[in-house]
Amino acid sequence: MDVGDDDDGVVSDGSTTTMVYPPTSPLANGNAGVAVDDALTHQFLAYDSKQETGMVGLKNQGATCYMNSLLQTLFHLRAFRQVVYDTPSEKEDTNDSVSLALQRVFYRLQTQSKAVSTKELTRSFGWSQIDSFMQHDVQELYRILCDRLEEKMKNTKVDSAIKRLFEGKVRSFVQCVNVEFQSFRDESFYDLQLDVKGCKDIYESFRKYVEIEMLQGDNQYEAEGYGKQDAKKGIRFLQFPPVLNIQLKRFEYDPLRDGMVKIHDRFEFPKTLVLDDFISSSSDAQEKKENSNSEGKKQPSGSHVYHLHSVLVHSGDVHGGHYYVFIRPGKDIAQSSNWFKFDDDQISCVDEQTAIEGNYGSGSPGIESGPSTPLYSSMLCSPEASSNGNMDFRRADAIPDPDRGADD
C-alpha cells in the first residue's frame, strides 16, 4: 500500500482507497478520524451490487480474486454460459465434478441477491483450504476449466463446444529461398501470448508475432535432400476463434536480477480489433467459401473484426497483488458502452475510458500497470453468424442444487 505524499491518511492499493487515522491530524477533535473511517466503512458495507447494477459478485476465499475475475469473465460470455448449462449433470456426479460445481456457481450468479461462494468449485479442483490462500496462475486455471469441461462433454450434444468457442489455429513454417522446399506444422491455441516490451500497441505485438526470421549464414536451415539452405521461418494464423483470449506478457525473467520482473510499459489496445492483415490468404479464401449458415444466409466474409469484451487487470508486483476485471456484458457488445468493474463481491459501473485507456499502463513502475488479459469476441456481437448468438437459459432451474441458499 502507498500512503499519499501529503500524509492525508488516504491509503491506496491500486484498487481501493481507505481512510485511516491521520498521523498528524490538524483537527482538534481526535475522534474525527474515527468518525470518517466509520462512515466510509458503513458506506462500503451497505453497498448492494445487485441493487446498483443488477449483478452479484463472488466471495474471496483469501486469495481467489484471480479466479473470481476469470469466472465473471466466462459467466458474461453468453455462449460459454450456455455451453456450461448444456453439459450433462448425472446423478453419480459428486463434489469432485468441476462441471457441476461450475453450473451451480453460474446458476447462483443469475438467481442470488448476495455474493456467491466458490468453495464447492475449489473443492472440485482438489484444492485444500490452504490452496485458497495461494494465488494460482489465471491462464492455468482457464485451461483446467476448459480441459475438465471438454472431458465431460465428450460424446454429448455439446461435444467440442469449447473448441468451437476458443480454439484458433496457427502454422509454423520454414520455406527455403533458393529451392522448392518447405516444411510446416499446424497447431491449435486457446489463448495468445503477446509481447508488451518493445511494442506500443496490440497491432505491433501481432506484427512481431508473425515477423519473418531469416535463416542464413551459420544459421542456415538443413533442408532434406538439399543440404543447408537460406530460408524464411515464421508463423501464420490460419484461423481465429470466435472468442479471442489474449495474454499480455507483463512478466518476464530478468537475468540481471535473477528473477521475474513486471513490465510497466504503456501498451494500447483498441475497443474494436481488426485482424484481416494477420490471417493467411489461403485460409481466408477457404473461410469465404464456407462462410454461410444452415439457412443459406450469406455471412460477412474477409473481415476478422473483434469487439473488446473484458479486461482482466493485475494490480501489484511479481510478489503479490490483486486481480479484478472490467467487463462489457450483454448480448450486443458492439453497440454497448456499458462497462462494469468486478472486484470480488463488489460490482460498480465505470466509464469506458476507465475500463480501457485506464489500463494501458503508466510507462513506469507503479501499482496500476495494465491488464494481463484482454478478451475479444467476434461472435457475441453477430448473433446470425452462429446458432449460439441468441442464448437462453432454460436449463438453469434444472441444475441439481441440493444445498441452494446454504452459505458455505
Q: CA dihedral defined by 125, 371, 249, 379, rounded to 10 degrees? A: 70
Report strand pairing: 192-195 vs 243-249. parallel
Say whether 176 is catalytic. no
Contact between 248 and 196 under an 8 Å Cβ cutoff? The reply is yes
- 3-state SS of the chain: helix, strand, coil percent to 5? 30, 30, 40
Residue 358 pLDDT exceeds 70: yes
pLDDT class for 139, splitting at 50, 70, 90? confident
Looking at residue 92, its pLDDT comes to: 56
Q: Active site residue: 76, 304, 314, 322, which one?
A: 322
Written as nine digits, the cell of 35 is 468518525
Q: Give the pLDDT of residue 29.
A: 42
Task: Enter the DSSP assignment of 77.
Answer: -
CA atoms within 13 A on the CB side of 5: 0
Beta carbons of 11 and 18 less than 8 angstroms apart: yes
Q: Which three cell numbers stand for residue 58?
A: 463472488
* Architecture, CATH, for domain 47-398: Alpha-Beta Complex (3.90)
More confident of the two residues 266 and 105: 105
For CA atoms 214, 220, 222, 223, the dihedral sign is positive
Residue 118 clears pLDDT 50, i.e. is over it: yes
Q: How far apart are CA 257 and CA 267, in angstroms?
A: 24
Asked whether residue 377 carries a pLDDT value surpassing 60, the answer given is yes
- Cα 386–Cα 391–Cα 396 angle in degrees, nearest 5: 145
310 touches 375 (CB < 8 A): yes
Task: Categorize the per-residue pLDDT at 386 as very low, low, confident or very high, splitting at 50, 70 and 90.
Answer: very low
Check if the beta carbon of residue 381 is closer than 8 Å to that of residue 244: no
**Pairwise pLDDT comparison (97 vs 35), residue with the higher score:** 97
* pLDDT at residue number 363: 63
- Supply the pLDDT for residue 136: 58
Write down the domain spans for the chain: 1-46, 47-398
For 330-357, the pLDDT digits (tens) are 777 777 788 999 999 999 999 999 999 8
pLDDT at 127: 63
In the block, cell 451451480 appears at 104
80: phi then psi, degrees, rounded to nearest 5: -65, -40
More confidently predicted of 23 and 61: 61
Residue 194: per-residue pLDDT:
93
What is the share, in percent, of the chain residues with pLDDT greater than 70?
Answer: 68
Q: Is the pLDDT of residue 171 over 80?
A: yes
Residue 185 has pLDDT above 50, yes or no: yes
Rounded-to-integer distance, Cα 122 and Cα 131, Å: 9
Does residue 205 surpass a pLDDT of 90? yes
DSSP lists the bridge partners of residue 315 as 322, 368
Mean pLDDT for 356-360 is: 89
381 pLDDT above the threshold of 60: no
What residue type is assigned to position 155 of the chain? N
CA-closest candidate to residue 162, choices 108, 238, 98: 98
Q: How confident is the model at residue 385 (pLDDT cuts 50, 70, 90)?
A: very low
- The C-alpha cell at 146 is 476448459
Please calculate the CA angle 302-391-371 and round it to the nearest 5 degrees: 65
Residue 134 has a pLDDT of: 53
247 closest CA partner among 267, 233, 218: 267
DSSP string covering 121-141, please? HHHHTT--TTGGGS---HHHH
Catalytic residue list contains 349: no
Check residue 203 and give its pLDDT.
96
Residue 132: its pLDDT value, please? 46
Distance between CA 328 and CA 307 in Å, rounded? 10
- Tell me the pLDDT band of 140, cut-offs 50, 70 and 90: confident
Rounded Cα distance, 308 and 348, in Å? 19
Q: What is the pLDDT of residues 239-258, one digit of tens each?
A: 999 999 998 888 777 788 88
Give the three-state DSSP class for 257: coil
Q: Which amino acid is at 200?
A: K
Which residue out of 65, 176, 199, 381 is catalytically annotated? 65
Residue 390 reports pLDDT greater than 90: no
pTM for the model stands at: 0.75
- Contact between residue 234 and residue 212 where contact means Cβ atoms under 8 Å apart: yes
Instruction: State the pLDDT at residue 16.
Output: 35
Task: Tell me whether residue 298 is exposed, middle or buried, using C-beta atoms within 10 angstroms of its C-beta: 0 to 12, 13 to 18, 19 or more.
Answer: exposed
pLDDT surpassing 60 at residue 37: no
How far apart (Å, rounded) are the C-alpha atoms in residues 269 and 69?
Answer: 20
